Amino acid sequence: MLLTEVIMKSTINTLAMQVMLLMGSVGVAHATGVDTATAKEKTATLSFAAPMVINNDLTAVDGLEAGDLSDGDPVATGSITAANAALFAIKWTATVVSVETGGLQAMAKGKSDPKHELELVLDTLNATGDSTHDSLGGGWYQVSGPASKQAAYAVKLMGDQTVEADDYTIGVTAAVYVP
């Protein structure tokens, strides 16, 4: 036998001996058995629902013309749809328009000239009168009701105003409201 084989066998034997001594000093617990008379079985049904998916469509009213316009004139319409009935909530997309205090009013600025301003109001056509604060993204959502598979909303002019010819970008965020 080679010297390296002798050293290796000696090392392995030493390690095995140390493990046995360690187990003996720590002690190994052995169960004496399970009292099956105390055993209780319970089952649970795990139900996974499909995630709620909604669609939010926002469309400008056809034929908008610059000039003197009246309070409440519609400039865009929106619709929210879902496969299952739900309460919907809408708010201005704050990264697109400047949202006024209270959350339903906003100001859109002209693309070619930011001095061109359009004062708008978000009108939930079947609003419950409820609103809820978005603690994650900020802003206030207006809640629609009763629960349904679809809801409509409108973007209207806020007050009489002279609208300059320009392109104004608006955005509305829709979500499911969970009371």
Q: In the chain, what are the domain boundaries?
A: 54-177
**pLDDT, mean over the chain:** 82
For 77, residues 6+ apart whose C-beta sits below 8 A from its C-beta are 58, 59, 61, 152, 153, 154, 155
* Residues forming a β-bridge with 175: 89
- pLDDT value of position 112: 97
- pLDDT value of position 56: 97
Mean per-residue pLDDT, 99-103: 71
The domain over range 54-177 is classified in CATH as 2.102.10.10: no
Q: Residue 6 — very low, low, confident or very high, per pLDDT cuts 50/70/90?
A: very low
Mean per-residue pLDDT, 131-136: 60
Is pLDDT of 145 > 60? Answer: yes
- pLDDT value of position 24: 55
Instruction: Return the closest-CA partner of residue 164 out of 100, 96, 118.
Output: 118
- pLDDT value of position 103: 73
**Per-state percent for the chain, helix, strand, coil, to nearest 5:** 15, 45, 40
The answer to whether 69 and 158 have CB atoms below 8 angstroms apart is no
- pLDDT value of position 121: 92
